[in-house]
Structure 1
Amino acid sequence: MNYCTTVTILLLLGHCAVFSKDAPLDEDENIRCRCVHTERRKIPSKLIKLIQIFPSCKRCKHTEIIVLSTSDHQICVQVTAPWVKKLLDDLLANSTVKAIS
């Protein structure tokens, strides 16, 4: 192999190692979760602009819910908080999109 081929292969391997999405994770760490801390206190619905739900996956062990406030702040909320459960139930009840069973 010549020098250019060797360097190219090493760069490609390095790129794959750095940007690999399937890299194994330590079981004790969720290094790719979006939320470090979650908020349990109720956020008034009139201050909520958008709700994002990220289901658990191999990168993060638990479901994450992020609320975007009307002032464009992202707030991670606690999935088990009663007000969050009620908010999600109300959204599903009022949704025009039906779940596929």
Structure 2
Amino acid sequence: MAMRAALLLGLLLVVLCPGDAALLETNGNLNCRCAKTTTAFIPLRKYESVEVRPAGSSCWRLEVLIKLKTQERICVDPNTLWVRKLLQDLPKL
């Protein structure tokens, strides 16, 4: 009987763990693709494509993903100066 009570208590602790609530609060909407972003400059010659995901119902923030020729995807900070310039020049490219 004591073993069942301990298992039930353990299960309740896992389900009601405050760490999970903190994760939801900091991440906001779980449909966002970028958990982390970089501000490091990425040369244009390395790009395969650029994906811009505007803020909306799927994610609360603007997301900019750069797919490199190596097939790696990198999330960049849209508030960085070079990314803002890239977004302005994107229609011209």
Range into which the TM-score falls when normalised by the shorter chain: 0.5 to 0.7
Distance in 1 (alpha carbons) for counterparts of 2:55 and 2:85: 20
Task: Extract unaligned runs of 5+ from structure 2.
Answer: 1-23
What is the distance in 2 between the residues matched to 1:32 and 1:69?
22
In structure 2, give the amino acid aligned to 1:70: K
* Greater percentage in helix: 2
SS in 1 for 2:89: helix
Q: Which residue does the alignment assign to 1:53?
A: 52
Counterpart residue number, 2:12:
none
Moved over 6 A (4+): none
TM-score for the superposition, normalised by structure 1? 0.62
The gaps in structure 1 that reach 5 residues or longer are: 1-26, 96-101
Structure 2-normalised TM-score?
0.67
Q: How much identity, in percent, do the aligned residues show? A: 29
1:74 aligned partner: 73
For the residue of structure 2 that corresponds to 1:49, the secondary structure is: strand
Give distance in 1, aligned partners of 2:35 and 2:79: 16
Matches within 5 A, 1:1-101: 28=25, 29-92=28-91, 94=92
* CA-CA distance at 1:37 after TM superposition: 0.2
- Inter-partner Cα distance in structure 2 for 1:40 and 1:50: 18
Aligned partners of 2:75, 2:49: CA distance in 1, in Å?
A: 12
Aligned residues: 68
Cα offsets for 1:69-92 (capped at 9, x unmatched): 011100001001111111121222
Q: Structure 1 residue 59: deviation in Å?
A: 2.6
